[in-house]
Amino acid sequence: MKNATTHLRSASCPYGPWSPRELVCETNYMEVSVRRDVPQTEKDFILNEPEDWILFYPEGKAGEASIWQVVFHQPEEKRALLVSDAWRAGYGLNTTETRILLRVPYNAAQIQLVKAQGITFSAVRSSTFYKQQWMILMVDTAVACPVDGVNYTNKTIIWTVPKYFQALSAGATGFKDVLVEAGMNLRKLSAEEMASRKCVLSNDLNTITMKIPIGAEGGSYKTSVSSGKHGAKYSINLFLEHQWEDNKWGLTKYTIIKEIETPFEQAELAVTNNPNLSARLMNVTVGTFLLDVELVNLTIEGTTVTVPEAIQHGYLTYEIQYANGSKIYVIQVSFDAPGIKKEYITDDTREYTLNVTLKFIILPTSDTFAVPIITVSAVKDAVLPSARGFCDKNDFHLIITRGNVDQNWLPFISDQHLMPEVAQKYYYSLNDNGTHLTVSVPFLSSLVDYKDIHISGVMASLHLTLKDGITLANKKDFSISCRFPPSELIQCLPNGTVVITAVKLVRLEDLDTSLLVLRDKQCKPSLVTKKAATFKFNVNTCGTSRKFNSTSITYENDVLYFRPGNDIPVYQLKFVCVYTIKHSADVQYENKNHLPLSIKPGFGSLDLSLKLFKEKSYSEPYRELEYPVVKYLREALYFEVELLQPADPRLELNLEDCWATNSQSQDSLPQWPILINGCENSEDSYRTVFYEVNYSHRVQFPQHLKRFEVTVFTFVQGTTLLQMQLYFHCSVVICSTTPLPSDVICQRRCNAGTHRLDRSAEPHPQGRVSSGAVLIRKGKNGQQR
């Protein structure tokens, strides 16, 4: 609670002359004040309920002298109390020289509830007497007050009071209204003031009715709680003064002071979010509230914190008060604060959800209520994951760069959830470092799809899907397609054993790999998976045909698939093994869509590599995942060019030209020459250095490799270092280790003078090879050295 403040307020009450009888109905008691002087006997004096006097007279006759007593008249009994006893029972009794006053609490035992025109009254019929010598003074001190008569309709309070009540008008036969006035907070209101407040006071034959709009000036709202819900009640203090004359009592002044409180009305709170996208802030307003409400704590993700503690969690709350006596609360919280749920929606949009419960206290009652707040901000800041892929001889490699929306996305291939704990079982590798997800899948994995088989290779695809971790809805798809050499599917062993793997094509979805056969249908696969079947047999079995020539034997067979009841194969894969003297060779094959045609032997391709090594020892090259490689001024780049296939010791690799570009295209401009006609670029101040290659456990044929060193100074133009990604390329020529004298190209050597490229009469296999990206930067201390 805030520090209490004290306000002084002055009030005055005007007093007019006493009426012969005055009745007051207060909030917690009712009161009657009657003049007690002894009047002259009149000719037409009317007895007040004669039976009351008959019943009363014995008590008055037997009472002690000079002592006030009260007799209460109830339907079932009458009871006389001394003043001291009446005080102890909660009554108030007082006298002056001219008046007697009786005050009765609403919970007194002698109270009777009586209906008048549908309105319930709390009534007490009593007579007060005083006995002296030769005289008994008796006063009628009956009093009654309405306890209901208030209705609420159409945002209006309707208060109805019957004008004449039998218990207060016993014996009277004629009535005349003298005054009917109303007011608020113990102050009478003029007709103009009543009209300005849209209040209506009506006086008809039997009732007085007052209509007050809920919310009218003079009343007040206070916050309330019902069944945990927040709302408000309107309260107002009204009073009604009715003066009338009758032929028994003369003038009676009847004043009713009524505290009215409307029923609980639930309040609808407005929650508005005006996010500040540039500052990445939610700006949520909640309200409106009355000033008797205070925010005490917040519940964030199940943890309740006070308002000051919430600031430490990134939740700033404050209130704004308005002149009309209301206020709102403001919550400012960062999109990245704890407890803010982030959800990717579509394209480039994410939704940030604030889910917090505010607890309020009502002063001074200390009642509490809670307000749950759920608000969503859509922000176009989504970064989707991206991927790059490549294939080597045996595997697919897919590298996914994480975005900011896929923290809870799971990798799937088909229906297989990729997990490290089952990776070995399904022969794939999976590595997730938080920023990159790397997946490597073997070419012959059941997770791979096969599109076609041709002499040039087997076209295969790998499709990876990222799915929502809760709903498993597809979020992002990646795929990579590569053509693998057919030699991966066939082995022609020297002992005459053939191992052939037939793969299922996507266009033959209904193909059952277990029903694949060779020409001899009794030859069935030795190993079957969902997408492949492996046959292992001798070349002299399973219907294998053979052809002879002077230097080799060629064996042919087919892998076939027949649909049930059909003699025409819908799948036919022809394969060939050629055996030469003391040697065996794997020859390429292809899948035929129709019945077989003979295929010609294929020719191999030149297989080259250009690698960048970490040190001069050439022991460890940079791996694919380490590119782009960052190098600084004056650092050395160690390159190695290698002939991978064919592995023929009679061949030698020679370098022609090597150059660098700032894109992957070998022909892009600008270009920086490194080697020209196999020799270093004479225009470089730091010459290229060649290294001799010797035999080792890694190097079986030293003549298949060339190594050289390049200094980063090579890529400085003028005094400016080129800070960019560079790609290195080399063109090579394959020569015989024993070149002919006419072979000028393979016999040329570098010398200090100018270089001349001669033409050779001998044809030579040639090729080009490129490296990954190298990022050139200034020195590590930020200055050129």
What integer is the mean pLDDT of 551-561?
88
Q: How far is CA 440 from CA 357, 426, 476, 544, in A?
A: 47, 11, 18, 36
b (16+ CB within 10 A) / e for 717-756: eeeebbeebbbbbbbbbbbeeebeeebbbbebeeeeeeee
pLDDT tens sequence across 707-742: 999 987 656 555 555 567 889 999 988 887 776 665
Model confidence band, residue 63 (pLDDT cutoffs 50, 70, 90):
very low
**For residue 547, what pLDDT is reported?**
82
Give the span between the Cα atoms of 672 and 637, in whole angstroms: 15
Higher pLDDT, 274 or 456: 274
Same domain, 631 and 767: yes
Q: How far is CA 650 from CA 157, 437, 696, in A?
A: 113, 43, 18
Using the predicted structure, report yes or no on whether residue 677 has a pLDDT greater than 80.
Answer: yes
What DSSP letter does each residue of 699-754 carry, written as one string?
A: -S-GGGEEEEEEEGGGGEETTEE--SEEEEEEEEEEEESS--TT-HHHH----SS-
Using the predicted structure, report yes or no on whether residue 518 has a pLDDT greater than 90.
Answer: yes
Same domain, 100 and 162: no
**For residue 139, what pLDDT is reported?**
82
Same domain, 619 and 761: yes
Residue 303: CATH number of its domain: 2.60.40
Note whether residue 10 is domain-resident: no
Using the predicted structure, report yes or no on whether residue 275 has a pLDDT greater than 90.
Answer: yes
Owner of token pair 């060629």: 554
Note whether residue 597 is domain-resident: no
**For residue 281, what pLDDT is reported?**
95
What integer is the mean pLDDT of 374-386?
94
Note whether residue 247 is domain-resident: yes
Higher pLDDT, 775 or 238: 238
Same domain, 25 and 108: yes
Give the span between the Cα atoms of 410 and 304, in whole angstroms: 33
Decide if 702 contacts 662 (C-beta within 8 A): no
**For residue 737, what pLDDT is reported?**
77
Residue percentage of the chain with pLDDT more than 90: 51
**For residue 760, what pLDDT is reported?**
40
* Nearest alpha-carbon partner for 234 in 155, 326, 319: 155
Residue 516: CATH number of its domain: 2.60.40.3210
DSSP assignment letter at 219: B
Give the span between the Cα atoms of 464 and 398, in whole angstroms: 9
Model confidence band, residue 691 (pLDDT cutoffs 50, 70, 90):
very high
Same domain, 623 and 735: yes
Domain coverage including residue 480: 409-484
Measured between alpha carbons, how far apart are the two ends of the chain, in Å?
A: 68
Higher pLDDT, 225 or 592: 225
* Nearest alpha-carbon partner for 588 in 684, 457, 710: 457
Give the span between the Cα atoms of 732 and 186, in whole angstroms: 111
**For residue 633, what pLDDT is reported?**
76
Element (DSSP H or E) covering residue 586? strand 583-586
What integer is the mean pLDDT of 734-761?
56
Using the predicted structure, report yes or no on whether residue 597 has a pLDDT greater than 50.
Answer: no
Model confidence band, residue 550 (pLDDT cutoffs 50, 70, 90):
low
**For residue 132, what pLDDT is reported?**
64
Residue 673 forms beta bridges with which residues? 659
Using the predicted structure, report yes or no on whether residue 752 has a pLDDT greater than 50.
Answer: no
Note whether residue 452 is domain-resident: yes
Same domain, 53 and 98: yes
Same domain, 629 and 729: yes
Q: Is the dihedral of CA 198, 201, 204, 209 positive or negative?
A: positive
Structurally, the chain folds into a number of domains equal to 6
Same domain, 117 and 169: no
Give the span between the Cα atoms of 68 and 83, in whole angstroms: 6
**For residue 109, what pLDDT is reported?**
87
Higher pLDDT, 595 or 167: 167
Residue 667: CATH number of its domain: 2.60.40.4100
Same domain, 229 and 158: yes
Using the predicted structure, report yes or no on whether residue 145 has a pLDDT greater than 50.
Answer: yes
Using the predicted structure, report yes or no on whether residue 780 has a pLDDT greater than 70.
Answer: no
Label the pairing between strands 250-261 and 21-25: parallel
Using the predicted structure, report yes or no on whether residue 390 has a pLDDT greater than 50.
Answer: yes
- Which of 557, 592, 627 is the last residue before a domain boundary? 592
Same domain, 539 and 636: no
Average model confidence (pLDDT) for the chain? 84
**For residue 136, what pLDDT is reported?**
72
Note whether residue 660 is domain-resident: yes
**For residue 366, what pLDDT is reported?**
93
**For residue 106, what pLDDT is reported?**
92
- Which of 110, 145, 180 is the last residue before a domain boundary? 145
Decide if 730 contacts 655 (C-beta within 8 A): yes
Using the predicted structure, report yes or no on whether residue 133 has a pLDDT greater than 80.
Answer: no
Note whether residue 334 is domain-resident: yes
What integer is the mean pLDDT of 379-389?
94
Q: Which of 312-321, 345-354, 603-612 is least confident? A: 603-612
Torsion angle, CA of 761/767/771/773, rounded to 10 degrees?
Answer: 100
What integer is the mean pLDDT of 703-710?
94
CB under 8 Å to 740, separation ≥6 — which residues? 762
Q: Which of 211-220, 575-584, 667-676 is least confident? A: 575-584
Give the span between the Cα atoms of 481 and 500, in whole angstroms: 22
Using the predicted structure, report yes or no on whether residue 600 has a pLDDT greater than 60.
Answer: no
- Which of 145, 178, 197 is the last residue before a domain boundary? 145
Give the span between the Cα atoms of 270 and 284, in whole angstroms: 10
Same domain, 648 and 763: yes
Give the span between the Cα atoms of 205 and 188, in whole angstroms: 23
What integer is the mean pLDDT of 542-551?
81
Using the predicted structure, report yes or no on whether residue 51 has a pLDDT greater than 70.
Answer: no
Note whether residue 387 is domain-resident: no
**For residue 9, what pLDDT is reported?**
73
Helix/strand/coil (H, E, C) string of 307-324?
HHHHHHCCEEEEEEECCC
| Number of neighbours of residue 251 by Cβ within 10 angstroms | 16
Note whether residue 640 is domain-resident: yes
Same domain, 704 and 728: yes
